[in-house]
Structure 1
Amino acid sequence: MKLEAKAAILIEASTGQVLYEYNADEALPPASMSKMMTEYLVMEAIKSGKLSWDEMVTTSKYASEVIGSGDLLAEGEQASVRSLFEAMSIYSANDASVALAERVAGTEENFAKMMNDKAREMGLSPQAHFINATGLSRADLKQYAPKELQGETLLTARDAALLAYYIIKDHKEVLEFTKIPQKKFREKDASPMVNWNWMLEGNKDNLYLKSYAYPGLDGLKTGSTKEAGYCFTGTAERNGMRLISVVMNTPSEPKRFRETAKVLNYGFDNFELKQVVSANAEIDSLKTVNIKKGVLTSVPVVTEKPISIVAKKGAAAEEFKIAAAPVGEESLVAPIKKGQVLGTAKVTYNGTEQTVNLIAAQDVEKGSWFRLFFRAIKDFFVDLFNGS
């Protein structure tokens, strides 16, 4: 696949499997794609109860003066967390992003430190670095540039995809915001905030954008500056499979969407999410696990949940290798409770692995000393005769 982009990647959203990558580990300026981390931390604060959607936030002087997209808020103006989040996720509003960051962490620089801490927690690359809530460069921030945090905001394409993976995994409700094509910030406003994401499926009836509208696409974040070029992290779902794509440093605004369509088409045309093992299923190589000191000497085990793997369309069943093993003997002692983890099963396909717990399908009570005594005698004589 030939792309007009400096870096790109495509992953499946439920497993994180990489389906395509190009220069995915070079750290580049992400521009407003870095707001995905701002969105994540705000939604985390809401989920934990530290913030509520209806809380009113007062705009600081800095938030009202920050350059770039937005220009919605005046100093001292109040807006709800929900309204600010809509402005950030629909319109990529820098003023709303700063206002939310200051509310969560006191200062934007403290918020950026939280962003970096979360990046480490998520396992983003060592190159991943944030200096603010918006993705603006140090030069753009002028007197508001951070004093303690050095350098510039940087992400690899793999970092951006992983960040999108965690947002969708932990805070999928973000898509209810990012899929909105346009909305007024205030009811009295003359014109609405128009989503910078031209590919939204909701644009299919838009006279000017319908040629870009992509079936199933409902997010996630655009970004552009002189240094970053035109970037886009997109996500779309079709036939039960959700993909996440990233293109960085494309040469124009239309091009970032055309290149994204190429990447997503490659994924949907060539791959499918295949359920290899269902929940509560037996694994042929380990249908039961031997246990000690129980009224029974073994217990049937089944999968705790299903295993699905993204595979090439038409992949044969024998391409999926399934192996199973019990846990250590010290854990295989009665009493056993139904649902207790007694082993693991691993499915391997084309270098990709998925693992699921094997759990007890029934309770097994501890055997009485009398039962265990006579079982020991029986086992002794069985071993004696087998050895003769």
Structure 2
Amino acid sequence: MMINKYIFREYDIRGKVAEDFPPDVVENLGKGFGTFVKRSGGQEITLSGDVRLTTPDLIKYFKQGVLSTGVDVINIGILPTPVNYYSMFKLGVSGAMQITGSHNPPEFNGFKMSLDRKAVYGAQIQDIRRIIESGAFEKGEGSEVRHELKDDYINMIVGKINIERPMKVVMDCGNAAGAILAPEVFKKLGVELTELFCDIDGTFPNHHPDPTVQENLVDLIAAMKTGQYDIGVAFDGDADRVGVVDETGEIIWADQLMALFLPEVIQNKGDEILYDVKCSQALEEMIAKHGGTPIMWKTGHSLIKQKMHELGCPFGGEMSGHIFFADDYFGYDDAIYVAARAVQMLSRSDQKLSEMVAELPKYYSTPELRLEAENDEEKFRIAK
């Protein structure tokens, strides 16, 4: 069958739905992943997706493909990506699939895969591509069950966080998947919450759900300047990346936020803390100052997670807003948990967030430069 080879990326399978994901292609993606899971010794996966308008159909056809390989599916519904990750730990399944376009425009969607509690990426994604191109799928009759995980996840987060003084928080969900449960988490934590765009709309009518781009934080910044708020938080399309704004409306970039967490996460002298190449020298210096060992690594959330697992790091992150706690959490990127940890950290201090950031070393750096390519073929040629 004809399938666009450029949908098979480094960290996921992604493309424009109308062009790249007709029903037969999506069903074959399900067959490919089911075969991959089965040949890896697995038997059961969880399946969920984000709030994009195309997601329910993609879930439907992908599920058909997986079931035809004899792999069982636990359908956990429309949820943020971190809940999909959590399902592997809670339900003990072999693998997981989250259908999400993340921070991409509404016409895009994609497939984030996990196996044995680790991200499927790189060569493994190409293995799945080759399985699909060969048509040599496993055959069987898998079963489907539905499982409600939302309340379990909310209670798990609330049980890990302790807010020690009254906090006023502005939250911008960008009409995306975080809106499904992030406001409820924060209300249960007892914070005074002001919500921006926390109603679900898969067309993202107010702004693009990507908190690493300054223009997408304009509404959050404006809201922070209207009241005596302590912190503002924003999530990307599937709530695995976080953006933070201080009480004055200044953006706290991910490497700055990571630096603020260091006193909590470095418990033993020499603890290795992982960060990507786009983070500033200030983070490296602060890791050393707090007794940790700074480890610079390649950009890419899957690469960071894998290296953290290999080294046993308690904490890591990258400039894009993927932040990973493994000190009292599972080591995956969960923007809702990271935001809650930020509020907890602030509640334990008598300083304002801007005052905490002012104590960090200051270096000047260029913003991330994103080069536009005419098409995927050109992009992949340049990347080589």
State TM-score, norm by structure 1: 0.25
Considering only CA atoms, is the larger Rg found in Structure 1 or Structure 2?
1
TM-score normalised by structure 2 residue count: 0.26
